[in-house]
Structure 1
Amino acid sequence: MTRIAGRFTRVEPRRRVRQLVLGLLSDLPRKNCWTIAEWAGQTTPDGMQHLLGRAKWDADQVRDDVREYVMEHLHDDQAVLVVDETGDVKKGTHTVGVQRQYTGTAGRIENAQVAVYLVYAGQRGHAAVDRELYVPRSWTADPDRCQAAGLGENTAFATKPELATRMITRFLDVGHHASWVAGDEVYGGNPKLRTALEERGTGYVLAVACSHEVTTGAGKFRADTLAKKVPKRAWQKLSAGPGAKGHRFYNWAVIDLPDPRAGSRQLLIRRNRSTGELAYYRCYSPASVPLTVLVRVAGSRWRVEEFFQSGKGLAALDEHQVRRYISWSRWVTLAMLAHAFLAVIRADEHTRPAPDALIPLTCNEIQRLFITLVVRPVHDAAHRLGWSVWRRRHQARSQASHYRRQATQAKIGSVKRAV
């Protein structure tokens, strides 16, 4: 918290942001301005809502602080930048960026808000270092709607690969280095993103669809067509990295792609040893690298899934109940900071030998110990009863407002019918 304290010119928001971050790390079943304010001992959620919506501070500057914190503690010369998006299912149409769209969170098309994240994955651990909200065309084509949600009326549409390029460029432009970038088919199928990485000399292993076409010395072929031509002796059994149940072994094959430009380009193919299911990757590196390196980078992509799971489960990354862009950016940035704290503590703990018959501390266990032993607040009955009264009063006002609106709409409808 000392690292970001300078972003807040007044002591009140500085203290409140600390309470909010601790609340994000708490064991509350649901985390929002109401529950965190009660947990922190405040009498109403007004202060927390002010911090997210109206207080003067720049979430992008705090995002930069989070990035520097992660780089200081998790730096790795062979780290991988992983890009991926996640969706938060929402109700209504007023939450910034929301529309009916596919989200992997639900596994289907839902009314959702989608954001793209950049995760730094090294040997010591992984944490998010940047985020961008995906704003669909249905929003950017409506300047009034954008302005009402806190977006600039000149907000331009950007695809998810364009958002990923923006974040990777921001990371590299401040002087940080990453040898590799990994991502799924959304990013691998985008030639502009691949070209941007090649121009900066950054290697990548990006998934592509089975229908993706590549050019070989014998002509242009679909990826799945080339996979059928791979001889049996070309497949190698290699681990994509450790998982919850041990190493994740697959069969791998690689096909060199001739190109007059500098650098080494390949099509990497992964085959599931049980089902035979195939996956395909476009690869680039400034210099030729062994197959084991490409496999390691491909396996690193799953670190972003681990971030989404722990970021949402431990730091409430997806529990923001806000509508405007400024509140969204502030909430997710502080959630990234909370998760990064857990990741850094975990990395430090893993440098020490664990006692016999114990695994090293996990982020989940660190969160439990930290909240239980260090910061669990204790409040008396009067505080709890006061919050009960506040909630019921707020709900009564909301209910009366709904009834008034319904009555007004009914009166307007009857007048129109009479006319």
Structure 2
Amino acid sequence: MENLEKFDRYIEHLCAALGHEDRNAGLQDYCRGLMLPIHRKSVEPLAAHTDPLHVAAKHQSLHHFVAKAGWSDRAVMTRIRDWVVPDLGLDSGCYWIVDDTGFPKKGTHSVGVARQYCGQLGKQDNCQVAVSLSLASVRGSVPVGYQLYLPKDWAADPVRRKKAGVPDEVSFATKPEIALAQMHEALASGVPMGVVLADAGYGDETAFRDGITELGMLYAVGIRPGTTVWAPGAAPLPPRPWSGRGIRPTKLRREPGHEPVSVKALAMALPREAYSALTWREGTNTDLSSRFAAVRVRPAHRDYLGTEMRAEEWLLIEWPEGEAEPVKYFLSTAPSDATLEQLVFVTKMRWRIERDYQELKQEFGLGHYEGRGWRGFHHHATLCIAAYAFLVTERLGQDGAKKNRARPEAASLPEGYLPRGSRTGPAPRA
């Protein structure tokens, strides 16, 4: 590695969160192994490449460090954040990106595994899913919160919980609820406020959007085509006039002919001139552009149960040229004088989380952990994020240097080395 001294300082910075000095070597070796250009980054390959002459002993120590040792993921993530934030340039724009990622998994014993939607596969399958919160700027991004989603059947199964080491204080929570808890924790620990970005899996939850507003932050979140809003200039009817008898009516009303509409219906009804072609950033091979329209609307979710109208928000619609209908919809609490260009730029900042996950999985082995327990799952993810965060800061300091410039080289394995489970001799012939 070109800058070993800086890496050593970084590791020393993280080790301050471990609680015991005898854990420092484990963190250093694990992070160094995760940064090596090797195909598989579960515990045994890391041991084989970081100490090829003592693979068994190193495997045992690394396994204990990641699967058993009681250091705090939260404390290490805080140290990671403190190291990266000064280089992100958040003064020019700060964004909090909420997302989740899935890891295909066989069997039923690995913590949190269930048949659920897996983004990596693009379908329902057996997998684990984790919710993350990333801190981002125009310069870069890094996760600052990460937690496994525990499905209801897991949360209610004391036998599996105990075997996997799920903490007693962890109960069932939806993904939006986990994300809100991560945001509360981030604010409490001093993370600068930013604009919250999320896809429709989160943005369609009214309680999630309300929770962001209660925290005092703005958002730009995806919603589904069927989400209902009051069209520009429309609003729910006031409560019925009081007759003078009984309880005074206080609930807002809807009537036939005076009802909210789906965002898809509203988008399809807009005139063609309402849409403008915009380019929001340079892609790898070409500029990224599409057609957009933005109108002021009021979200309508169950407002007939309330007594006050919801505030107006921006509805941003993306309808690429040549498509039969719009492809994406967003709600944003950006100021009423925000321009279309600003709305598009902010909303599209969410692309950074996609790159983070791509690199964390492909380059740092985020999904390679083979253990089954809660502690090991989160420890491995924290260390992957730690290794990735160091590379992010190196890139930011090198102004666009090649992505692997700060990566070390893998040590050669001893002659005759065989991974656990490999055959010790030739396969039998038929």
Q: TM tier, shorter chain?
A: 0.7 to 0.9
CA-based RMSD: 2.2
Indicate how the Cα distance of structure 1 residues 14 and 315 shifts in structure 2: closer, same or farther if over 3 A, else same.
same
State the AA in 1 paired with 2:33.
G
- TM alignment of 1:347-366, pairs within 5 A: 347-350=396-399, 360-363=400-403, 365-366=404-405
- Kept in 2: contact 1:239–1:249 (CA 8 A): yes
SS of the residue corresponding to residue 366 of structure 1 reads coil
Which of 2, 8, 18 in structure 1 is aligned with 2:18? 8
- Corresponding residue of 1:322: 371
Distance (whole Å) between structure 1 residues aligned to residue 219 and residue 389 of structure 2:
24
For the residue of structure 2 that corresponds to 1:34, the secondary structure is helix
The match for 2:411 is 377
Which of 272, 290, 293 aligns to 2:342? It is: 293
Q: Trace 1:16-415 onto structure 2 (pairs within 5 A).
A: 16-41=26-51, 42-44=54-56, 45-77=59-91, 78-153=93-168, 155-216=170-231, 217-218=233-234, 219-258=259-298, 265-278=313-326, 279-285=328-334, 288-350=337-399, 360-363=400-403, 365-367=404-406, 370-372=407-409, 376-378=410-412, 381=414, 384-385=415-416, 387-388=417-418, 391=420
Following TM superposition, by how much is the alpha carbon of 1:276 offset from its aligned partner in structure 2, in angstroms? 4.7
Provide the rounded CA distance (Å) in 1 between the counterparts of 2:170 and 2:194.
Answer: 32
Output one character per residue of 1:311-363: Cα deviation in whole Å (capped at 9) or x when no partner: 1111111111111000011000010111111111111111xxxxxxxxx3232
Cα distance in 2 for residues equivalent to 1:258 and 1:190:
15
Instruction: Measure the CA separation in 1 of the matches of 2:273 and 2:359.
Output: 40
- What are the Cα deviations for residues 230-285 of structure 1, in whole angstroms up to 9, with x where unaligned? 12222111123232223210111011025877975111101122435521011113
Contact 1:90 1:112 in 2 (8 A): yes
- Work out whether residues 15 and 27 of structure 2, in 8 Å CA contact, stay in contact via their aligned partners in 1: no
SS of residue matched to 1:46: helix
Code of the residue aligned with 1:69 in structure 2: it is: W
CA displacement, residues 90-128 of structure 1 (integer Å, 9 cap, x when unaligned): 111110000111111011111100001112221111111
| AA at the equivalent of 1:377 | A
Shift of 1:79: 1.8
Cα distance change of structure 1 residues 162 and 395 upon mapping to structure 2, 3 Å threshold: farther
Which SS does the other structure have where 1:320 is aligned? coil
CA contact (8 A) 1:81 1:121 kept: yes
Counterpart AA for 2:38: L
**Structure 1 pair 265/3, CA: closer, same or farther in 2 (3 Å)?**
same
Moved more, 180-189 or 244-253: 244-253
Judging changes above 3 Å, is the alpha-carbon distance between structure 1 residues 179 and 289 closer, same or farther for their aligned structure 2 residues? farther
Percent of residue pairs bearing the same amino acid type: 27
Q: How many angstroms apart in 2 are the aligned matches of 1:14 and 1:29?
A: 25
Q: Which whole-Å deviations, capped at 9, do the CAs of 1:124-156 have from their partners, x for residues lacking one?
A: 111111111100001011122112111134532
Structure number with the bigger relative contact order (C-alpha 8 A, sep ≥ 6) is 2
Indicate the SS of the match to 2:385.
helix
- Specify the code of the residue in structure 1 equivalent to 2:411: P
Q: Secondary structure at the match of 1:285?
A: coil
Structure-2 separation of matches of 1:268 and 1:107: 25
Query: 1:230 is aligned with what amino acid?
Result: L
Unaligned runs of 5+ in 1: 351-359, 397-419
Aligned counterparts of 2:402 and 2:291: Cα–Cα separation in 1: 30
Mapped to 1, the partners of 2:294 and 2:19 lie a distance apart of: 55
Q: What number of residue pairs does the alignment pair up?
A: 375
| Higher helix content, 1 or 2 | 1
Equivalent position SS for 1:371: coil
**TM-score w.r.t. structure 1 length?**
0.84
Conserved in 2, the CA contact under 8 Å of 1:127 and 1:340?
yes
Moved over 6 A (4+): 259-263
Q: TM-score, normalised by structure 2?
A: 0.82
SS at match of 1:68: helix
User: Following TM superposition, by how much is the alpha carbon of 1:179 offset from its aligned partner in structure 2, in angstroms?
Assistant: 2.9
Structure 2 CA distance for aligned equivalents of residues 68 and 127 of structure 1: 11
